[in-house]
Each structure stands twice: as C-alpha cells, then as structure tokens.
Amino acid sequence: MLNPIVLHFIIHTTPSRVYNRGRGYDEKKDYDSAIRIISKAIEKNPNLAVIYCVSGLLYLDYGIALRKKKFYNQSINDFNEAIKKNCRQVEIYYYRGLAYFLLEDYDSAIKDFCKAKRPNCKLAEHASQYMLSAYFNRGIAYIGKKDYGNAIKDFNHVIKIEPDLDRAYNNRGIAYFYKKEYVKAIADFSKAIKLDFCLHSAVYYNNRGIAYYHNRNSNDAIRDFDTAIELDPKFIDANNNREHLYDNNGAIE
C-alpha cells in the first residue's frame, strides 16, 4: 500500500525570563548555580509561591537548553506547587502548558493554554499559538494511534483558527485517506496545494497522487507523481510510487 506523508508543525520558543537573581547565572548558562540558589530559597521559604514559580521557569529553560525531559517534569512539579500555594499569575498556566507541550502531553497542554488565554494574561497571544500547535500535534498523535476521527476533529479546530495553514489540510487529508474517504482526502490535498508557496508542494502532489491511485484513478495519480518529481527530482517516495504504478500497469492493490 502506498502511504502519504504526514507533515509536522512544532513551535520552539524559549520562555521569557521573569526571575531576577537566577537570571544572571542563566545568561551565562550556569544553570546549576541558579538552581542551587533557588533550592536554598525554597528551603528558607517553603510556603512562598513565587519562589516555586521562579524555580519552575528555571527548570523549563534548563530543559529547553539541554533538551532534557526530566527538567520539564521538575518544572511542572514546581508550577503545581505554586498553584497549590495560590499563585495568582495566569502566566504560570502558560509556562506549565509549555512544559506539557514539550513532553508531548497535548491534552494537558491544551487545558493550560486555554486558561492562559484570559485577557489579563500577558502571554495570551503566545498561549493561543501554542494551543494551535498542540491541537495540530495531537492530531498527528491520533493518526499514529489510528484514531482518525479524533485526528480530523483536531485538524478541523486548527483550520477554524488558521484557515490558510496548508499543513493542516494535508494532515486532515491523510486522516481521511486512512478512513478510505478518498474523495475528501483528494479535496484536502488539493487545498494544501493551492495554499502552499512551493515549500511542500511536492509532498502534497505525492499524497494526492496516492489518494487518486486508491480512488481508482491511475492517470491522475501518475500526473501528480510526475509533478512531484518535477518539483523535487530527488523525492524518493514520489519516484518509487510512480515506478510502482508503472510496474503494476496502474492496477489497484
């Protein structure tokens, strides 16, 4: 079976630093010294919510810098403590959501980003962008789990917010493809082609060619594979797919 290609969409943004004394160490990338200072502060003031906020931000930034998931977990633990101690900053939900996002826990991330979208949150715009990305990536995760119905729902949500996001149509088309709803898949791949600025057009033509093939339209499939190869002569998948059709005389598997 010929399989279409999923496109990923992930935002990488280092959070704004709101800690003070730890900040100087962080700018020098001396995270260990900053963590020692914050840990001592927590020992002296274990009931002070703001210290846990600072510690959570530090661990989050540490995790982003070193790409270590364990620091995201520690960051979440600290933000949880801050919230338990009645920290009133809505921004904390944004940063905790970011940690969840980086751990690929999209359900928890979306919940926190929703809370951070409140008007009084300075990071509301960033929260909206990350929430969009969380829905997008959760849709990809649903495709991986073969839960195509929920994948389509998530991409519907993304398209409602960003109607010109070509990747969302591509990935929703893939979910329809695996549901064997080939006409809808073709429509979505066509929309992705229309919206694309030649960055991923070869992928979209390849994917639509696969959908045409399974919808028993070998001629259009070959034309799309030809176009994909014209756009990217080294595109291995498109070359293999076209060769597959020629070898099988356009017969559907």
How many residues are there in the chain? 253
Element (H, E) at 6: none
Which residue, among 203, 205, 213, has the nearest Cα to 248 in the 3D structure? Answer: 213
Residues 14, 141, 93, 102, CA torsion sign: negative
The tens-digit pLDDT sequence of the chain (253 residues) is 677 777 665 444 444 443 333 344 444 457 777 778 878 888 888 888 888 888 898 899 888 887 788 999 999 999 999 999 887 778 888 889 989 988 989 899 988 888 887 777 777 787 787 788 888 888 988 898 899 999 999 999 999 989 999 999 999 999 999 999 999 999 999 999 999 977 889 999 999 999 999 999 999 999 999 999 999 999 999 999 999 888 876 555 5
**Are the beta carbons of 79 and 53 closer than 8 angstroms?**
yes
Residue 166: the pLDDT is 93
Among 205, 173, 207, smallest CA distance to 187 is for 173
The full set of domain ranges for the chain reads 17-115
Q: Return d(Cα 22, Cα 2) in angstroms, integer.
A: 53
Vertex 22, ends 20 and 26: CA angle to 5°?
Answer: 115
CB 241 within 8 A of CB 210: yes
Q: Is residue 104 left, alpha or beta, with left meaning phi > 0 and alpha meaning psi from -120 to 50?
A: left
The pair of structure tokens assigned to 111 is 């919940």
Residue written as token pair 């998948």: 237
> Helix 124-144 and helix 106-116: axis angle, to 10°?
160
Fold of 17-115: 1.25.40
